[in-house]
Amino acid sequence: MIWARAVHYWLWFGLFGGLSTFVILRTRGVPDPESLWLLITGAVGVVVGSTGLAGRFARPFDTVIGLLFMSLGILGLLHQIGYIVVPANASSVDTANTVNQTAILGLSLTLPYALIHTLLGVTSLSHGLRAGKAGAVSEAHSRAA
């Protein structure tokens, strides 16, 4: 279980975060909020899972990040299907410009990103909800041996 979690966050950090940030820096010169979100959350997931912090902070981190990305991914999918989840005048009300027709908190609502967010969120949430069960099973096996 821990191995699957580590692979998940290394892929998240390397492919979705690192590679996309590199490409965007090369083409635009400035990273966008989307790639920074993916880079930072992937890096935090790798750090939390690779040290002794894994037992204390991995499960809450996976649960919170899973809920955040899954909910934004589902909102993006609903938005692409035609359900207007973000009103047209949202950016005029929001002074920090965190919600508009194309992004929420800097995370894009377009179809490819919505699918990526949903996949990453569901996988993280799965790791967060299963962490307690896997730890109890492995602890029981180590006591029996």
**CA angle 140–144–145, rounded 5-degree value:** 120
**Is the pLDDT at 140 greater than 80, yes or no?**
no
**Is the pLDDT at 122 greater than 60, yes or no?**
yes
Q: What is the signed CA dihedral for 97, 28, 112, 99, rounded to 10 degrees?
A: 0
DSSP-assigned beta bridge partners for residue 103: 108
pLDDT classification of 28: cutoffs 50, 70, 90 = very high
Distance CA 105, CA 82 (A): 20
The pTM of the full predicted model, rounded to 2 decimals, is: 0.81
For residue 40, the model assigns a pLDDT of: 96
For residue 114, the model assigns a pLDDT of: 94
Tens of pLDDT, residue by residue over 38-94, are 999 999 999 988 776 566 788 899 999 999 999 999 999 999 998 877 777 766 666
Segments making up each domain of the chain, as ranges: 2-144
Q: Give the mean pLDDT of the chain.
A: 83
Candidates 95, 115, 102, 119; CA nearest to 33 is 102
| Three-class SS of 12-49 | HHHHHHHHHHHHHHHHHCCCCHHHHHHHHHHHHHHHHH
* Phi and psi at residue 99, to the nearest 5°: -130, 125
For residue 120, the model assigns a pLDDT of: 95
For residue 143, the model assigns a pLDDT of: 43
Percentage of residues in the chain having pLDDT higher than 90: 57
